[in-house]
Amino acid sequence: MRPNFFQHVHPPSVPAEQARWRYTLGAGGIAVFLVLVLVVSGMLEMFYYIPSPGEAALSIQTLSYLVPFGGLIRNLHFWAAQLLVVVMTVHLARVVLTGSYAPPRRFNYLLGLALFAVAVLLDFTGYVLRWDTGIQWALVVGTNLVKSIPWVGGFFYRMLVGGNEPGPATLTRFYSWHVYGLALAAEILIVWHIFRVRRAGGIAVPPPKLRADTRRISRGELVHREVTAVILSAAALLLVSAVIPAPIAPAITKITAASSDASAPWFFLWIQEMLKWGSPFVWGILAPLAVLAVLALIPYALPQPAPQDLGRWLPPSNRPAQLVLAAITLGILLLTLLGLRSTM
């Protein structure tokens, strides 16, 4: 009998080494949980959200302050999205710093990167749906970056904003991308990504003959660990959502990038900072794409980690990839801090 998806992802037993917290940090599983929270809370928000420039911000305020548990649902959606970016980054770092992207997991690493990009775009499109004064930078400067692409920029810009400048059609476009275009792509990529983890024999550890620890844990024990991770993450998410409300400012009356609180969302502050260096096409489009390309090339262009080195952190045979990731992380972190300073 062919196993169903659950059985495929949870075989009767797995090597104990594959399910160590200290190795995986549970980050992939927590990311799946956050995505589920986002899907459910997002669908609930759709009952109240009105995707029209005159009513979007007001409908969010109604949801937050007048609908029973509406504020909590919105905060859960907002915080799950922010945490997902952090948890995905931790997961990506774990995969690179343990060399787990090595064959046969190279393609799955690329699927993971695609997921990362789609999740960040979902965060960005969701942020614009507020249609309040805080999102003006994203709306004007962010979409203008597309216009800066030589030859085809104008065409893609009109496709993105639905006209020659941002307006009511822009909100409809962003809403559609957010609730089904990108959301569907993310859902397909997640199922594919998880399917491929199991296809590759589960989490990367050395082959059996090179393994010191040959113990195995049962499906029940694996599910027990996953449930523990979900309970702890749910508690943390509920706590943050109960204490810190998601931001909402007055509705946009006139579209301009120059409002006093206009800045990029936190995960794009590093790009906002680079834009100060000159050409929007070079620093706003090419540079972020170059970062993505360097990450995508790690499993293909750098020396492969040795099989006996798998299943542990910072193996010596994987140094070049570790250094590349450290340089990228440091650069983005530094630029984000500079960006934060200039928004204060």
CA distance 174 to 152: 20
Chosen residue from 44, 56, 88, 325 binding ligand HEM by CB under 6 A: 88
Residues 239-264 as b/e (b if ≥16 CB within 10 A, e otherwise) read ebbeeeebebeebbeeeeeebeebbb
- End-to-end CA separation in angstroms for the chain: 60
Which DSSP letter does residue 180 get?
I
Q: Which residues contact 114 (CB under 8 A, 6 or more apart)?
A: 189
Closest to 185 measured CA to CA, from 281, 115, 120, 83:
115
Do 112 and 92 contact (CB within 8 A), yes or no? yes
Answer positive or negative: Cα dihedral of 14, 20, 23, 25.
positive
Chosen residue from 78, 79, 109, 157 binding ligand HEM by CB under 6 A: 109
Residues 86-111 as b/e (b if ≥16 CB within 10 A, e otherwise) read ebbeebbbbbbbbbbbbeebeebbbb
Chosen residue from 51, 53, 70, 112 binding ligand HEM by CB under 6 A: 112
Residue of closest CB approach to ligand HEM: 112
Segment contacting ligand HEM (CB under 6 A): 27-35, 53-61, 120-128, 255-263? 27-35
Least Å from the CB of residue 120 to ligand HEM: 10
Least Å from the CB of residue 335 to ligand HEM: 20
Answer yes or no whether residue 100 interacts with ligand HEM by CB under 6 A: yes
Amino acid at 255: I
Answer yes or no whether residue 91 interacts with ligand HEM by CB under 6 A: yes
Segment contacting ligand HEM (CB under 6 A): 86-94, 172-180, 227-235, 335-343? 86-94
Which DSSP letter does residue 15 get?
E
Chosen residue from 76, 83, 113, 120 binding ligand HEM by CB under 6 A: 113
Chosen residue from 79, 116, 127, 157 binding ligand HEM by CB under 6 A: 116
Size of the site for ligand HEM (CB under 6 A): 27
Least Å from the CB of residue 215 to ligand HEM: 18
What track of x and - describes contact with ligand HEM for positions 189 through 208 (by CB under 6 A)? -x--xx--x-----xx----
15 Rama class: left (phi>0) / alpha (psi -120 to 50) / beta: beta
CA distance 40 to 34: 10
143: its two tokens: 């979409």
Answer yes or no whether residue 108 interacts with ligand HEM by CB under 6 A: yes
Segment contacting ligand HEM (CB under 6 A): 29-37, 221-229, 262-270, 333-341? 29-37
Least Å from the CB of residue 119 to ligand HEM: 5
Segment contacting ligand HEM (CB under 6 A): 94-102, 141-149, 152-160, 272-280? 94-102
Q: What residues between 237 and 276 interact with ligand HEM by CB under 6 A?
A: none
Q: Which is nearer to ligand HEM, 119 or 302 (CB)?
A: 119
> Which 3 state secondary structure label does DSSP give 228?
helix
- Taking CB atoms within 8 Å and a gap of at least 24, the contacts of 297-302 are 298/96, 298/101, 298/109, 298/324, 298/325, 299/101, 299/102, 299/103, 299/105, 299/106, 299/109, 300/106
What track of x and - describes contact with ligand HEM for positions 119 through 148 (by CB under 6 A)? x-----------------------------
Question: Which parts of this chain interact with ligand HEM (CB under 6 A)?
Answer: 24, 27-29, 31-32, 35, 88, 91-92, 95, 100-101, 105, 108-109, 112-113, 115-116, 119, 190, 193-194, 197, 203-204
